[in-house]
Amino acid sequence: MDEVFFRESFSRIAATLIRLTGDWTLAEDCAMDAIEAALRRWPRDGRPDNPGGWLMTAARNRAIDQMRRAAMADRKLRDLALLRDDEPAPEGDDRLRLIFTCCHPALAVESRVALTLRTVAGLPTPEVARLFLVSEAAMARRLSRAKGRIAQAGIPYRVPSGATLTERLPSVLAVLYLLFTRGYDGEPALEAEAIRLARLLAALMPAEPEVSALLALCLLQHSRRAARQDPAGDLITLEHQDRSRWDHAAIAEAVGLLAGRPVTGPYAIQAHIAAGHATAPDFAATDWPALAGWYDQLARVHPSPVVEVNRAVAHGYAFGPAAGLAVLAGVRDALAGYAPALAAEADLTERAGDTATAAELFRRAAAAAGSEAERRALLKRVG
């Protein structure tokens, strides 16, 4: 059966049952029971005409049985019994509520990510544990503590409104982007899951420009995946990537998401930067002054030493290596030993003509690299 269908069904059913029962464990168990029943029965009896409705009915009936046995509140039983299989509103509303609840700032960031993967993305607990490099038992405890924190803190199962929505949305977007970057750095399945969740959020909140911008940013970065490494697994820099191998359909979709939208926050700015790279016919044709301008804007909206490193690179290509080194000088102390900062300084120094100093900087960057592929790529620049 279709794994994506069952993951989406798990999320949809769990979200609805959490709203109706307030019991995360019950909701997840009943959703999984329904899926397991489908996997047993559908190959034998045939797939029903409305598979999503079949799963919802099976999960609802399982929840009713368990709540009756546990003598739960009559009102919650009544709400479950009145749930219609063809009811259109809860899926969108409930899954949006679920995302915002999982990403509540009262939870630690790692708990937000783990809970989102388990409940919204529908990943089994063992798979979530593998992604976090912990045991299944440890991850089960972490998820249990997160759910307990939601109950103890009285975190409401709803999408906030007004100023609270504006305040909370960055937490949701940050969790989704963290999922994407973890996948981009080595877990392709997780990267694809983050894009799927970003699509879901964009469909549920079409009027929020930063939501569409996050999806566009993920698509633009994902579009280069096939060209980022050579057959030996070594990294290929943007300058030397085969642009015919980029996913141009994803690029076109992302550019369309950005068209006519206001640039209101950091994801929109980063998406426009990524689009500048993605739409250039080759590296030499990149509009570096425009990218430098976007990075200047990003530094004002979302200042950080890491942004300054990227801004230095853009200024170096737009206005000469001395301009880039001047930007980098302002954050050198804050990023001492940070491999990308050392690599940026090495590249700018080499382009300024000081090859000996550049070689030493590339060696230092390689020593601080976070992966073997990155280390090899930097050592190749030593010459």
pLDDT, tens digit, 9 for 90 and up, residues 105-143? 888 888 888 888 888 777 888 888 887 778 899 888 998
235 SS3 class: strand
User: What CA–CA distance (Å, rounded) separates 364 from 157?
Assistant: 49
- Catalogue the long-range contacts made by 155-159 (C-beta closer than 8 Å, 24 or more residues apart): 155/101, 155/104, 155/106, 156/101, 157/18, 157/19, 157/22, 157/97, 157/98, 157/101, 158/97, 158/100, 158/101, 159/93, 159/96, 159/97, 159/100
* Shared domain check, 78 and 104: no
Instruction: Compute the distance between CA of residue 266 and CA of residue 383 in angstroms, rounded to an integer.
Output: 37
User: C-alpha angle with apex 200: 211 to 205, nearest 5 degrees?
Assistant: 45
Same-domain pairing of 98 and 58: no
- Clarify whether residues 258 and 294 are in a common domain: no
Are residues 160 and 241 located together in one domain of the fold? Answer: no
Rounded distance between C-alpha atoms, residue 120 and residue 198, angstroms:
11
Looking at 286, 302, 320, the residue that finishes a domain is 286
Domain total in the chain: 4
Which of 267, 286, 305 finishes a domain?
A: 286
Stretches in the chain below the pLDDT threshold 50: 85-92
In the prediction, which pLDDT does 280 show?
96
pLDDT for residue 70: 61
Specify whether 268 is located in the same domain as 218. Answer: yes
pLDDT tens per residue across span 319-329: 999 999 999 99
Domain shared by 349 and 265, yes or no: no
Q: What is the pLDDT of residue 67?
A: 76
* Structural domain boundaries enclosing 350: 288-383
Kindly state whether residues 99 and 188 are assigned to the same domain.
Answer: yes
Final residue of a structural domain among 87, 120, 138: 87
Instruction: Output the pLDDT for position 90.
Output: 39
76 and 157 in one domain? no
Residues 182, 244 within the same domain = no
Within this chain, do residues 81 and 116 fall inside the same structural domain, yes or no?
Answer: no
82 in the same domain as 96: no
Q: 327 with 360, same domain?
A: yes
Q: Give residue 273's pLDDT.
A: 97
pLDDT at 91: 44
CATH number for the domain including 338? 1.25.40.10
